[in-house]
Amino acid sequence: MKTPWIEEGENNIYILSKDFDFLQDTWNAISAYALSVDSTFSAQACPMTTVGNSDYNRRGFKYYADISSLLPAAVRNIYGSATKFMPRNCHGAALTASGITPQLSYLKDTCLEVIFNVSMTKTSLNNLQSGDWIYLKDFPHGTEFAGATGGHSFIYIGDDLCLSMNGYWENCGDYYSPKLKLSRTQDVLNFYGFPKEALITSTEDQKNPWESLIDVYRKISMAL
């Protein structure tokens, strides 16, 4: 499976790819995410650049694009930043990344139902769109899902890319919060013990046992 490679500079975020069509598809998916946050967003053509003679070239990457301008302002303001002694978590980060609130916060699991009922509409894995909020549920221990942790929210951009704040504030050493960053979707699923196939929709012939542990929500147009 093709996956983008993400590199971050001081003020830039680059997506590298071995295939231009894949880079174009990734650019379009991020643009669709930006539009889901801000209806006034105007898509731009992908400014593809050829990778020069570098370590990236030797690793097979041929093209890259700076996608910094595609991210909503509220996301750019908090992207990759860690705050000391300020509890911020994945649910609060998803709240900002979905365009519901500009302020990054700590949002308890018990508050999610209110957010989902007021500002979101529930959808399903077979209707995933860029900008959807994915919630990996907690589940009973001692089940077939041993090893997964659940209780995580992230913003889906595509099967290959998402916005996620990975980790746990209380485990980040010296009380720094984790960071909201672009991640490969399969890496986020793996971090929380879910297989990369967890987002596949069940069919009559093949049941996805993880589907019951995943909720998908979409911001409604009236959400502020």
Give the torsion through C-alpha atoms of 204, 136, 33, 186, to 10 deg: -80
Tens of pLDDT along 198-219? 998 878 788 888 888 899 999 9
**Domain range annotation of the chain:** 5-70, 73-219
**Mean local confidence (pLDDT), 105-129:** 88
27-31, 138-142, 188-192: least confident range = 138-142
pLDDT winner (highest mean) among 18-22, 43-47, 135-139, 142-146: 18-22
CB 113 within 8 A of CB 135: no
Q: Which long-range contacts (CB under 8 A, 24 or more apart) does 190-196 make?
A: 191/166, 192/136, 192/148, 192/149, 192/150, 192/152, 193/145, 193/147, 193/148, 193/149, 193/150, 194/136, 194/148, 196/1
Please compute, for residue 97, the number of CA atoms within 13 A of its CA located in the half-sphere on the CB side.
29
pLDDT for the residue 204 = 76
pLDDT for the residue 165 = 92
pLDDT for the residue 147 = 59
pLDDT for the residue 1 = 46
Q: Hey, what CATH topology would domain 73-219 get?
A: endopeptidase fold (from Nostoc punctiforme) (3.90.1720)
* Residue 173, phi then psi, degrees to nearest 5: 70, 125
Query: Could you give the CA distance from residue 153 to residue 173 in angstroms, rounded to a whole number?
Result: 22
pLDDT for the residue 108 = 82
